[in-house]
Amino acid sequence: MLKNILLIGMGGFLGSIFRYFISFLNISYDIFSIPVGTLLVNISGSFIIGFLTGIADKSTILTLEWRLFLMVGLCGGFTTFSTFTNENLTLLHNGQFLSIGIYTGLSIFLGFIAVYLGYITSNIL
């Protein structure tokens, strides 16, 4: 158990550092006021976790330890969006199209509401 926690922690450490450096793109590039660094992190993290999931599904090359380090740790530290999109891929594989729509819609809508309420709450304090 401790070994798994350390693997996830090391991966998360690296993923978070990668995210920090890529976030500098947010202040370097302005394309329609879109946070380019965050967009790049979310899309590349989704690609990486999808790629790793594909490898894990097709072979035994990724042991449990490597999956914990790369998928939970590195991708999780890099972006939780990758986990969200990977969960949608699982729903897609299971033919749960309505669930994809509900999960995606609720995640975006409620996530936006939550960040707005958090922001408003911070102004009250």
Q: Give the pLDDT of the chain (125 residues) as one tens digit per residue.
A: 999 999 999 999 999 999 999 888 877 877 776 778 888 888 889 899 999 999 998 889 999 999 999 999 999 999 978 888 989 999 999 999 999 999 999 999 998 998 889 888 887 86
CA distance 53 to 71: 8
State residue 28's pLDDT score: 80
Tell me, yes or no, whether 121 lies in a domain: no
**Are the beta carbons of 62 and 52 closer than 8 angstroms?**
yes
Tell me, yes or no, whether 13 lies in a domain: yes
Tell me, yes or no, whether 105 lies in a domain: no
Measured from the Cβ of residue 54, the count of other Cβ atoms closer than 10 Å reads 11
Whole-model pTM? 0.77
Q: Based on the structure, what is the number of domains in the chain?
A: 1
Evaluated on CA atoms 92, 94, 100, 103, the torsion sign reads negative
Angle at CA of residue 48, ends 66 and 55, nearest 5°: 55
Tell me, yes or no, whether 90 lies in a domain: no
State residue 31 phi and psi, 5-degree precision: -120, 100
Tell me, yes or no, whether 43 lies in a domain: yes
Query: What range defines the domain where residue 27 resides?
Result: 2-79
CA distance 30 to 47: 23
State residue 6's pLDDT score: 98
Tell me, yes or no, whether 108 lies in a domain: no
State residue 125's pLDDT score: 64
Helix ranges restricted to H, 34-96: 36-58, 64-67, 75-78, 81-93
Tell me, yes or no, whether 20 lies in a domain: yes
